[in-house]
Amino acid sequence: MNLALTFYSVLRMPIRDIIACSIAAEKAGFGYISVAESFYRDGFALASAIATHTKKVKFGTSVMPIYTRTPFQIAMGAATLYEISGGRVAFLGLGVGYRGRTEQYFGIRQTRHLERMTEYIRIIRHLLSGEDTTYRGKFFHLEKFPKLSSEFINLPIYVGSSGSRMLQLAGRLADGVILNSISTPEYVSFAKKKITEGAKLAGRDPSKMKVGHSVIFAAAEDVQEAIDAAKEDILFYISYPELDPVIERSTFTTEVKMMRELLIKGEKKQALSLIDEEMLDAFAVYGTPKDCRARLRQFLSRGISLPIIRVSVSPYKESERRDVLMTAIESLKNWR
């Protein structure tokens, strides 16, 4: 099983350090570098910069937002990265994105998620087919859109979501899913059930669906340091209502409600204190580098086929984050 290392768009560290970590990840045997986009950095531009400094590692997105980019922009970005990297693009993750960010930062209302995602998947596939594209839908109308490549680009599309209806849609139309950064074994089972339902409705084989999962990963020789880093990421994700489908199928509903109330009051320290060992074990891989390697194997036994390592760096200064990522990369060297 190949690992992916993700550089999410809000990661505050110099691009030269991201490139250095990408080179190290390639040498350590990581199969993929995955980029994301929300705000701050352009995902395809970052991946292109990494591609010019690497030779073997493949690329993916986890995820590209469908409200702040048109399907044409996403397809053009993917096709350009495909050319720059010499064909090293392995998957394209698409997601709705967080409503609060989209509406506050971009002034774009999120509506009709399922219909919009359906059109994005279909249009992007057409655009990467090596042929001119004509498409008429509810949101987009294309008339002989010029082909983006002289050849068919076979790019699996994964849907990033936690909600049941979007997971079913992924089973019907996509090639896989990318689950968000917190989950439980029970939730992964639920998600796979919904994917299977969607696949069967479309007469597709659910066993061919890839199950990706972003994994909170905090490795440090000082275990408390790793715990503190993992807690920051857990709290970050818990604050978003988009993760409610995960929380509702866990034993942490009461604690999460309390944590959100504390965050609203500005009492972050008290909110962090409610993250106990049980919650840490459910939502994150953390501990010494040796511990993390073993904990990751246990995490993946939930039924995950594409682990996307999200290194926890929130408590660290920007100047320290390169070393934090290097520790994580080294801890997973030659993973099999």
**pLDDT score recorded for residue 118:** 98
Give the pLDDT mean for 279-284.
97
**pLDDT score recorded for residue 101:** 83
Give the pLDDT mean for 217-222.
98
Check pLDDT > 80 for residue 24.
yes
Give the pLDDT mean for 261-276.
97
Give the pLDDT mean for 127-137.
95
CA separation for the pair 222, 59 (Å, rounded): 32
Domains of the chain: 4-227+283-331 (3.20.20.30)
Contact assessment for residue 184 and residue 256, using Cβ atoms and an 8 Å cutoff? no
Residue with the larger pLDDT of the pair 151 and 105: 151
Portion of the chain with pLDDT greater than 70, in percent: 100
**pLDDT score recorded for residue 327:** 98
Check pLDDT > 90 for residue 106.
no
Contact assessment for residue 18 and residue 53, using Cβ atoms and an 8 Å cutoff? no
Note the pLDDT tens digit of each residue in 166-213: 999 999 999 999 999 999 999 999 999 999 999 999 999 999 999 999
**pLDDT score recorded for residue 38:** 83
Check pLDDT > 90 for residue 23.
yes
**pLDDT score recorded for residue 103:** 85
Give the pLDDT mean for 287-306.
97
**pLDDT score recorded for residue 102:** 86
**pLDDT score recorded for residue 1:** 85
Check pLDDT > 80 for residue 306.
yes
Check pLDDT > 90 for residue 229.
yes
Positive or negative torsion for Cα 243, 292, 34, 302: negative
**pLDDT score recorded for residue 235:** 97
**pLDDT score recorded for residue 177:** 98
Q: What integer best gives the mean pLDDT of the chain?
A: 95
Structure pTM? 0.96
